[in-house]
Amino acid sequence: MHVSVIGTGYVGATTCATLASMGHRVIGVDVDQQKVAMLNSGRLPFYEEGLEALMGSLITQGSLTFTTDLPKAVTESEILFLTVGTPSQSDGSADLSYIEEAVRQIGRHLDRYKVVVSKSTVPVGTGDRVRAILEAELAKRGVVIPFDVVSNPEFLREGKALHDALHPDRVVIGCESDKARAMMTELYQGVRTVMLYTSVRDAEMIKYASNAFLALKISFVNELARLCEKTGSSISKVARGMGLDSRIGPQFLRAGIGYGGSCFPKDVRALIHLGKQQGVPLQLLDAVTSINQTQAPWFLQKVETAIGPFSGKRIALLGLTFKPGTDDIREAPALAMIEMLQERGAEVSAFDPQGMEAVRQIHPQVKMATDAYGAIDGADAVLLVTEWPEFLDLDWSKVRKRMRGRWILDGRNALDGDKLRASGFAYACVGERRSE
């Protein structure tokens, strides 16, 4: 099939490569000429494991290309995907201006029946808005051209996006016509997973509900971790015991310093805003957001209790991105931690395999090292902020010699505390009373 994907960010680029690898002819569309040139040369403007290599091979084969020519992409495609951003506005609502402008452009150049598919995360009712904009643009042209609007939300984990796109847990297709359903079924022919067909509004809500529930699990286990420290329980053992219940599962039950990234914070805020609009306060999600916002400050208080006032001390952060396997620092807990540490007089050093350049633009005072050992040099305390695999396999005897202090504070509960204590470190993590 001939497909266009409008928007070539994290979701758009992954969608382009995935659909092209399934045998479709795909055009990726973006307004940024420099970005399009980079993509056509086989390079990504962000890091996502395995994606750049696949994209390069598909471009060489001729099944994938990128352009700024939206009218050409519209006329040459049967299915048009919308994968532009929907960032948060000041009141928590989703900014749909990019979606609306893309839809207006489609309406100005629609020449025959198309399926317009929203893969962007959008509030319930956006499909109706897309339909109204398309109808208005066609009316301005004085033409009647049939089309269908579909919601096909993505469920991608950054760092594992390509795997998730190629091997999805489920494919949700919200559509209102048999023709659109048949075309989407053909598009995903060969994908072995559950195909869930719903209304457009159901599909839009499924995306928000899924992300909000995963955020809820993270905040629940983080709040429970605070209680475990007070009661002498181990959150790691408690979470394992919970996760063995098949009704709960172990995913998203690791205590830490909170969630970040481009999805959970934005989508939880948008769902809360939708609830307010409809007169249905989502008090549980208000609490989820509050817990997440206070988790990093709570952890830093734990650090300060261990090592004393931050003023004049050097604190090394291992990891800056919101999770390993990505260069995404959007709403990463590290950003808030850096700001709080600097406000309290600490000198901050850091290393992250992918996130340092982006953080340097926000916090230029942070000393960025060329490796983990450089960040650790002379540190009074080392904070594990992102559980990149290379941080879990450091030469800890080398670390001990290069530190000024002896505290290792594990914000992701990813290190072997007993091993570190045996090596002469003082160790503390999240949700464990023992800190020595």
Q: What's the pLDDT at 434?
A: 63
- Does residue 435 surpass a pLDDT of 70? no
pLDDT tens per residue across span 365-382 = 999 999 999 999 999 999
Q: According to the 3-state scheme, what is the secondary structure of the chain?
A: CEEEEECCCHHHHHHHHHHHHCCCEEEEECCCHHHHHHHHCCCCCCCECCHHHHHHHHHHHCCEEEECCHHHHHHCCCEEEECCCCCECCCCCECCHHHHHHHHHHHHHCCCCEEEEECCCCCCCHHHHHHHHHHHHHHHHCCCCCEEEEECCCCCCCCCHHHHHHCCCEEEEECCCHHHHHHHHHHCCCCCCEEEEECHHHHHHHHHHHHHHHHHHHHHHHHHHHHHHHHCCCHHHHHHHHHCCCCCCCCCCCCCCCCCCCCHHHHHHHHHHHHHHCCCCCHHHHHHHHHHHHHHHHHHHHHHHHHCCCCCCEEEEECCCCCCCECCCCCCHHHHHHHHHHHCCCEEEEECCCCHHHHHHHCCCCEECCCHHHHHCCCCEEEECCCCHHHHCCCHHHHHHHCCCCEEEECCCCCCHHHHHHCCCEEECCCCCCCC
pLDDT band of 433, cuts 50, 70, 90? confident
Count of alpha carbons within 13 angstroms of residue 184, beta-carbon side: 28
pLDDT band of 436, cuts 50, 70, 90? low
In this prediction, residues 233-253 reach a mean pLDDT of 95
What percentage of the chain reaches a pLDDT higher than 70?
A: 99
Q: What's the pLDDT at 204?
A: 98
Active-site entry in 16, 175, 263, 429:
263
Give the residue among 411, 33, 60 at the shortest CA–CA distance from 222. Answer: 411
Go through the domains of the chain in sequence order and give each one's CATH number: 2-198 (3.40.50.720), 214-428 (3.40.50.720)
pLDDT tens per residue across span 16-55 = 999 999 999 999 999 999 999 999 999 999 999 999 999 9
pLDDT tens per residue across span 397-410 = 999 999 999 999 99
Q: What's the pLDDT at 382?
A: 98
175 is known as an active-site residue? no
- Does residue 315 surpass a pLDDT of 90? yes
pTM for this one? 0.91
Q: Which two tokens stand for residue 430?
A: 């999240």
pLDDT tens per residue across span 168-220 = 999 999 999 999 999 999 999 989 999 999 999 999 999 999 999 999 999 99
